[in-house]
A = this chain, B = another copy of it.
Amino acid sequence: MRTVGQRDAKHNAARLKKQRMSIPPFAIRRGDMEEMIPPFGEEQMSNSVLYMSMSLDGYIAGPDDRPGNPGGDRFMRLHDWYGFQESNAGGTGWGAHFMAESQATGAVLAGRRTVEQVDHWGGDSHGVPIFVPSHRPNPEATAKYPLVTYVTNGIESAMAQAKAAAGDRNVLVLGAYTAQQALKAGLLDELQIHQIPVLFGAGRRMFDVLPQRVELEIVKVIDTPDATHIRYRVKR
């Protein structure tokens, strides 16, 4: 049994190397990408992974980001690439791939702003529990939603609880502030950035309160006309 919070760096390095060799991003070509989308679901280990669609100038939300206007004005420009419009069924192509990947996670660690904007997704995220690090508890939400836990004793505790709940599956990290707190505390393992070919000019930035430099390793780049998908691993 793996202990929650214990990290197996050598195993992870070997897994990354194997992934890189077995799924060469360079085999993917524009036009026939649907056929080339690699299978996933094997070789999963428990990593905490931030998934974020971001404009080239670093915005993840438009202006006026609040409950009632989640993501701010013209937010969906950052999510066009999922292909929701075409299918109404979880996206197409790489959108469907990344949607399935994120929904295979075993727990969610999300910021309070994120979850409150969407009323905790109605109580769970794709059936798995949600952990919200926050200084203030939210008795109404936790009474209403048994799978929602507000963790008031620090992000380390919140991540440990999320990893315990996720078991061998990954922890999906959502929310800019929370992701930066996790980075600061050395608790974020990977970043899956969907970089969108647009300059927003205004809104809310992904990275704004990170107090230190963090070195990353490029794990995989997927080049599509709609987005550049870059997977980073945090160097330790």
Contact = CB atoms under 8 A, between A and B. Distances in A.
Nearest to A208: B57
A236 to B, nearest CB: 14
A206 interface: yes
Interface string A169-196: 0000000000000010000000101010
Interface in A58-102: 58, 74, 77
A193 B58 CA distance: 13
Interface string A192-229: 01010111111001110011111111100101010010
B199 A213 contact: yes
A202 B27 CA distance: 36
B218 A197 contact: yes
Contacts of A199: 183, 207, 210, 213-214, 216
A5 interface: no
A198 B218 contact: no
Interface residues of A, number: 39
A207 B56 contact: yes
Contacts of A24: 29
B232 A230 contact: no
Contact of A201 (B56, B213, B230): B213
Interface in A35-50: none
Contacts of A25: 223
Given A57-B58, A74-B213, 14 more contacts: A56-B193, A56-B216, A57-B206, A57-B207, A58-B58, A58-B207, A183-B199, A197-B215, A197-B218, A199-B213, A199-B214, A199-B216, A218-B223, A221-B223
Query: 4 closest Cβ contacts across the A-B interface?
Result: A57-B207, A221-B223, A197-B216, A58-B58
